[in-house]
Amino acid sequence: QVFFANVHFPTFLIQRLLPRIERGGCVLFTGSLMGIEPHGMALPYGVSKSAVHALTRNLVKHLEPYGIRVNAVAPGFVDTEWQKTKPAEIRRSIESKVALHRFALPEEIAEAFLFLFTNAYCNGEILTLDGGYSFR
């Protein structure tokens, strides 16, 4: 079910929508830090997000003749309602592994999507926003 939601559905949706996407358009995917940095508690999710990253890169050549760019944002831990329900000790543990010592704000992730959408030279990018989690 996770793979269907994260990989199959977007793949077939693009296939169906391709004739309607204008030249110069951009497809944006939501990847995840868990698709880059393995996490023991999220195997199906991490593998599916790794597939989203591979799909992003592979679609560059497929969409090239149509003049369509494809990119993805791979957020780390974002301060969403779901994350806010985690016990304080788990949140502190995660924050201690992030170089900025905090979760991302949803607005910060939105800015990344906007950047990839508006920058006409970005193609095949997987923009990781993890606050330095990868460097700790």
- CB atoms < 10 A from the CB of 7, how many? 19
Span 64-77, average pLDDT: 97
Tell me the whole-structure pTM to 2 decimals: 0.91
Q: What is the mean pLDDT of the chain?
A: 94
Say which CATH architecture domain 2-135 belongs to.
3-Layer(aba) Sandwich (3.40)
Residue 39, pLDDT above cutoff 90: no
State the catalytic residues. 45
Task: Domain ranges for the chain, please list them.
Answer: 2-135
If residue 62 lies in a helix (H) or strand (E), which one and from where to where?
A: helix 43-63
Share of the chain above pLDDT 90, in %: 89
Whole-angstrom distance, CA of residue 91 vs CA of residue 77: 10
Span 124-133, average pLDDT: 96
What pLDDT shows up at residue 42? Answer: 79
Span 25-34, average pLDDT: 96
Share of the chain above pLDDT 70, in %: 99
DSSP 11: H
Residue 84, pLDDT above cutoff 90: no
